Amino acid sequence: MPNTVLVGAQWGDEGKGKITDLIASDYDYVVRFQGGNNAGHTVIHGDKKLALHLMPSGVMYENAVPVIGNGVVVDPGVLIKEMAVLEAEGISCKNLRISCDAHVIMPYHKDLDGADEKRLGEHKIGTTKRGIGPCYQDKAARKGIRIQDLMDEKIFRLKVETALAQKNPILKNIYGLHTYTVEEICEEYLPYANILRPYMAETAQMLNQAIRDGKTVLFEGAQGTLLDIDHGTYPYVTSSSCCAGGACTGTGVGPKKIDRVLGIQKAYVTRVGGGPFPTELTYAEDGGEGQDAVDGETLCQVGHEYGVTTGRKRRCGWFDAVIARYAAEVNGLTDVALTKLDVLSAFDTIKVCVAYECDGQTYDYFPMQQSVLFHAKPVYEELPGWKDVDITGCRTFEELPENARAYVEHLEKLAGVPISIIAVGPDRDQTIFRGWDR
């Protein structure tokens, strides 16, 4: 298998966990390259549903080495708990490798994340409050604490002391929150260091050597293209590079070593948190009306669209081909995996947004100015559905009803990227491979 980057092509929760888990056994290494435990990736293990936040979804296979790359921010307490849950399920984490350069989420990062959201009020981003943004802020400001610092008690104490000299006044004077002592942070974090020490590695060197030895790597993205700090709907984004380029900076593997970029797209679109969403079908409780609100509720209920990390009800909308084309470009997608096609069996007809209209202008490319996106009216095409036909048992493209095949082919044409994997249910085997050579 060629080295592959797997990225979310929408606003996250596209089904990256399922697809990573599905193809991971074809690779020697599965590497997370950005984000932290803001991610919630669902994998089905036997008859159990497991939610992974930090652990690469490839952990399910013994032959694939799970790696947490330098671009990830690690909450050590969360990681240790996640490892314990997996071990209790009989899934070994012994092969895990954590980059010595990954940054550590500290208690004050979590406090500041929540407090800043409160301060923003109705303009809040709707973060997961896991401390992701404040941790990346410290990284960019060159004040962060890395995994390698955590492993050295002397350095760790010194760095915590320096950090608290700045954080405590902010916590106390700006947000009216409690402050920390070096001792209480060391008491919590130094035992984490002892547990995680055997897993720390120079992962960039390890991965490059592996590639030289003919081994293959799957780079598992978290979040999605439109949550990318540069290419997403800023400021309603996360604080990392979720697009394919992030796989290089977040692991230390150069772009020429990457052969394939697989974008994960849901057959419709969802979003959690604030920010523009042109095809959103607003729920009745949020002021939505008529058929749109009914369709939005149907997508949510049939698709079980509730956040894996926060439990929030996800915002739902029709497939947006403007976004699909944009994601194809900024990631350089070579293939698409289309997920949750089965959910659309609930509809008589299915809408697809092919362009936006705003102030008398039509946009078939992602608009330059965010204000357009806020006010954009979707231009829809309406396609015939395959209502009430259960497609979860289909295993070849030919087995799908004619209208489902036409829907897939239409999306493929609109974005200009081949759809080589189609998911028709959450289980591993509820999948159609179509030109994805395994």
Residues that bind ligand GDP (CB under 6 A): 8, 12-18, 40-42, 304, 308, 339-340, 342-343, 423-426
Tell me the residue type at 289: E
Give which of ligand IMO, Mg ion, ligand GDP, none residue 296 binds (C-beta under 5 to 8 Å, depending on kind): none
Q: How far apart are the C-alpha atoms of 129 and 318, rounded to whole Å?
A: 28
Tell me the residue type at 421: I
Structure token pair of residue 181: 């002592």
Given the structure tokens 């409780």, which residue do they identify? 285
Q: Enumerate the β-bridge partners of residue 358.
A: 361
Among 12, 66, 76, 263, contact with ligand IMO (rule: CB under 6 A): 12
Site residue total, ligand IMO (CB under 6 A): 22
Is 377 one of the annotated active-site residues of the chain? no
Among residue numbers 35 through 54, which ones bind Mg ion (CB under 5 A)? 40
Q: How far apart are the C-alpha atoms of 77 and 89, rounded to whole Å?
A: 19
- Segment near ligand IMO (CB under 6 A); pick from 37-45, 96-104, 296-304, 367-375: 37-45
Helix (H, G, I), strand (E, B) or coil at 30: strand
Q: Is 167 annotated as a binding residue?
A: no
Among 15, 56, 69, 133, contact with ligand IMO (rule: CB under 6 A): 133
13 binds ligand IMO (CB under 6 A): yes
Is 45 one of the annotated active-site residues of the chain? no
- CA 61 to the chain's CA centroid: 21
Q: Is 309 annotated as a binding residue?
A: yes
- 53, 139, 231, 351: which is the annotated catalytic residue? 139
Complex with ligand IMO: residue 17 or 385, whichever CB lies closer: 17
Q: Enumerate the β-bridge partners of residue 317.
A: 269, 280
Give which of ligand GDP, ligand IMO, Mg ion, none residue 342 binds (C-beta under 5 to 8 Å, depending on kind): ligand GDP
Question: What's the sign of the alpha-carbon dihedral 154, 159, 162, 168?
Answer: negative
Helix (H, G, I), strand (E, B) or coil at 166: helix
Among residue numbers 308 through 347, which ones bind ligand IMO (CB under 6 A)? none
Give which of ligand IMO, Mg ion, ligand GDP, none residue 66 binds (C-beta under 5 to 8 Å, depending on kind): none
Among 9, 79, 115, 125, contact with ligand IMO (rule: CB under 6 A): 125
CA distances from 204 to 219, 243, 246, 435 (A): 13, 19, 14, 31
222 binds ligand IMO (CB under 6 A): yes
Spatial CA neighbour of 56 closest among 91, 107, 89: 91
DSSP 228-286: -TTTSSTTSS-SS--STTHHHHTTT--GGG--EEEEEEESSEEE-SSS--TTB---GGG
Helix (H, G, I), strand (E, B) or coil at 126: coil
In sequence order, which residues have a C-beta less than 8 Å from that of residue 12 and are 6 or more positions away?
39, 222, 223, 224, 227, 242, 271, 272
Smallest separation, CB 379 to ligand IMO (Å): 26
Q: Enumerate the β-bridge partners of residue 146.
A: 103
220 binds Mg ion (CB under 5 A): no
Give which of Mg ion, ligand IMO, ligand GDP, none residue 426 binds (C-beta under 5 to 8 Å, depending on kind): ligand GDP
Q: Is 17 annotated as a binding residue?
A: yes
Complex with ligand GDP: residue 8 or 71, whichever CB lies closer: 8
Spatial CA neighbour of 328 closest among 27, 1, 5, 9: 9
41 binds ligand IMO (CB under 6 A): yes
Q: At what angle do helices 321-331 and 402-415 cross, to 10 degrees?
A: 50
Smallest separation, CB 65 to ligand GDP (Å): 20
Among 57, 70, 203, 238, contact with ligand IMO (rule: CB under 6 A): 238
Smallest separation, CB 34 to ligand IMO (Å): 10
If phi over 0 gives left and psi between -120 and 50 gives alpha, with beta otherwise, what is residue 214? left
Sort 51 into a burial class: Cβ within 10 Å, 0-12 / 13-18 / 19+.
middle
- Segment near Mg ion (CB under 5 A); pick from 10-18, 144-152, 203-211, 365-373: 10-18
Smallest separation, CB 105 to ligand IMO (Å): 11
Complex with ligand GDP: residue 21 or 292, whichever CB lies closer: 21
8 binds ligand IMO (CB under 6 A): yes
Structure token pair of residue 137: 């802020």
Give which of ligand IMO, ligand GDP, Mg ion, none residue 101 binds (C-beta under 5 to 8 Å, depending on kind): none
130 binds ligand IMO (CB under 6 A): yes
Give which of ligand GDP, Mg ion, ligand IMO, none residue 223 binds (C-beta under 5 to 8 Å, depending on kind): ligand IMO
Complex with Mg ion: residue 150 or 337, whichever CB lies closer: 337
Is 152 one of the annotated active-site residues of the chain? no
Q: Is 259 annotated as a binding residue?
A: no
Where in the sequence numbering do the catalytic residues fall? 13, 41, 139
**Binding residues for Mg ion (CB under 5 A):** 13, 40, 308
Q: Which residues are annotated as a binding site for substrate?
A: 308-314
